[in-house]
Structure 1
Amino acid sequence: MHIIKHSSQEEGKEVMPKLQRRNFLKYLGMGSAFVTAATIAASCNKKDDNNMGGSGVSLGSGDVAVLNYAYALEQLEAAFYTQVVLTPYAGMSDTELDFFKDIRNHEMGHREFFKTALSTNAIAGLEVDFSSIDFTKRASVLATAKAFEDLGVSAYNGAGQYISSSSTGLVYLGLAGKIVSVEARHAAYIRDLIEPGSFAAGDVIDANGLDKSRTPIDVFNIAKTYIKTRINTNTLPK
């Protein structure tokens, strides 16, 4: 059993070169104007931690809280897939390893994008705890990957409604739509590795053919098993 406790942004430095800000914006089809708008909006929404109830790392308020929420989840996923690639489970095929590397790179790209967009309002790197995951066993890794990907998709689906209707907020919403579509591709692939043909099973797709969603609080209640850093969720949308 692997016991892993480390900052989610420390891993992966050797396997993926640090990309520059312009590359993340190009990757998501945006320009430097977005960073300027995002930074201005973040500064306007910044809130003093001393005025917040509860304890732990403050996510901020308004759009900043929603973006930091997504940033925290991307940190968690990036850390997980980095570990999967660093310590492949017994019997992992070359094809599976290549796909996991792709997923890892996507998650690291998402993580760094949010960090850049949030600028000085970004929360620090989270410390994660994967001690409950046996990275030597395929079943344990795939079950966790499935849980993370399904959680990520439902998190984005549930958070979209809380982004403001400002011009900058609409940009955030469009980018979130691009990211959640990638997360859904990951989820489908992982599900098919576990059981072929299960990519859109009824536990995640409702009777109307729509992906299910979760509130930010519900998502954090599930994810907290793997996040050692204490997070103050009081300013998250209810």
Structure 2
Amino acid sequence: MNRLVKSKNNSGKEDGEITSVVNRRLFLRSAGLATSLGTIVISAACNDDDPDPMIPGTGDAVDLGSGDIGVLNYAYALEQLEAAFYTQVIATPYAGITDAERAILTDIRDHEVIHRDFFKAALGDKAIKGLTPNFATIDFTKRDAVLGAAKLFEDTGVAAYNGAGKLLKDGGYLLLAGKIVSVEARHASVIRDLINPKSADFAGDDILDANGMDKAVAPADILAAVKGYVTDSITGANVGK
């Protein structure tokens, strides 16, 4: 792939080339737009035949609910976290951020906001509340900290969608989830390339299994992995049941 843009940090030293920035941005924008067009379809699918709205958990706990609604709320919770993270990244950019990096991270932010709003609109009164993120452990002033967190969130998101897909009973929901996870995988790839340009890490052994497939992780394990980044207590015991 051609390298179109060279970027420099504040010290004047090259910090690496960004892979096909223009093409990548256009591709990411197109992917986000395609995902947003599914809103009408999934909204129509959430009709009165769906399971009853979730029952709030005890105290401040958030219960994702059961059945397909539980799976959609699970995805909504994760998209809330990602949208909040990238919104913070762009609001308080790290030291030395390049124009190319800012452009890519802005596009990813826009996609995650689309995904978050997509699920909120689709779920309607069955949606969980807006969650409160906790990013106290992330130093948003440092590039390594921000991109490291972005890598964690994106890899986790892909594994989460892969793990939850088998729990969906409605084929329409599964199709739309597949479209969204493909966008999340592209996010994961571009973040990995920003961290380690020109390497094969965009699809590293840490995220692929022995068959070259993206890993699939169960909701309980994903929720445990991200609980430190959300102030709310979330229970997904009945997701997909």
| TM-score bin (small chain) | 0.7 to 0.9
1:56–1:31 CA distance, 2 compared to 1 (3 A) = closer
Please report the RMSD computed on the Cα atoms of aligned residues, expressed in angstroms. 2.1
Q: Which residue of 2 aligns with 1:232?
A: 235
Give CA deviations for 1:21-51 in whole Å, capped at 9, x if unaligned: xxx997544474542222334xx3125627x
CA distance in structure 2 between the aligned counterparts of 1:31 and 1:78, rounded to whole angstroms: 17
1:134–1:30 CA distance, 2 compared to 1 (3 A) = closer
Out of 36, 47, 52, the position equivalent to 1:46 is 52
SS at match of 1:129: coil
Query: Is residue 159–residue 214 contact of structure 2 (8 Å, CA) maintained in 1?
Result: yes
For 1:201, the aligned partner's letter is G
Q: Which residue of 2 aligns with 1:184?
A: 185
TM-score (norm 2): 0.80
Query: Is residue 159–residue 216 contact of structure 2 (8 Å, CA) maintained in 1?
Result: yes
CA distance in structure 1 between the aligned counterparts of 2:54 and 2:109, rounded to whole angstroms: 34
Give CA deviations for 1:170-219 in whole Å, capped at 9, x if unaligned: 11111111100000001001111111221001000122111011000000
| Shift of residue 53, structure 1, vs aligned partner | 7.8
Q: Which residue of 1 aligns with 2:111?
A: 106
Q: Between the two proteins, what is the percent identity of the paired residues?
A: 52
**Most deviating of 205-214 and 96-105:** 205-214
| Shift of residue 102, structure 1, vs aligned partner | 0.1
Q: Which residue of 1 aligns with 2:213?
A: 210
Give CA deviations for 1:109-158 in whole Å, capped at 9, x if unaligned: 00000001101000110011100000000010011000000000000000
Query: Is residue 54–residue 64 contact of structure 2 (8 Å, CA) maintained in 1?
Result: no
Q: Give the greater-gyration-radius structure (CA).
A: 2
Out of 73, 76, 100, the position equivalent to 2:78 is 73
Aligned residues: 208
CA distance in structure 1 between the aligned counterparts of 2:153 and 2:81, rounded to whole angstroms: 9
Q: Which residue of 2 aligns with 1:6?
A: none
Q: Which residue of 1 aligns with 2:123?
A: 118
CA distance in structure 2 between the aligned counterparts of 1:136 and 1:230, rounded to whole angstroms: 28
1:97–1:147 CA distance, 2 compared to 1 (3 A) = same
Query: Is residue 71–residue 115 contact of structure 1 (8 Å, CA) maintained in 2?
Result: yes
Q: How does 1:1-238 map to 2 (within 5 A)?
A: 27-30=35-38, 32=40, 34-41=42-49, 44-47=50-53, 49=55, 56-164=61-169, 169-196=170-197, 197=199, 198-237=201-240
TM-score (norm 1): 0.81
Query: Is residue 35–residue 117 contact of structure 1 (8 Å, CA) maintained in 2?
Result: yes
Query: Is residue 60–residue 232 contact of structure 2 (8 Å, CA) maintained in 1?
Result: no
CA distance in structure 1 between the aligned counterparts of 2:194 and 2:34, rounded to whole angstroms: 31
Query: Is residue 93–residue 141 contact of structure 2 (8 Å, CA) maintained in 1?
Result: yes
Query: Gapped runs of 5+ residues in structure 2?
Result: 1-31
Query: Gapped runs of 5+ residues in structure 1?
Result: 1-23
1:178–1:81 CA distance, 2 compared to 1 (3 A) = same
Query: Is residue 159–residue 215 contact of structure 2 (8 Å, CA) maintained in 1?
Result: yes
CA distance in structure 2 between the aligned counterparts of 1:48 and 1:98, rounded to whole angstroms: 38
SS at match of 2:172: helix
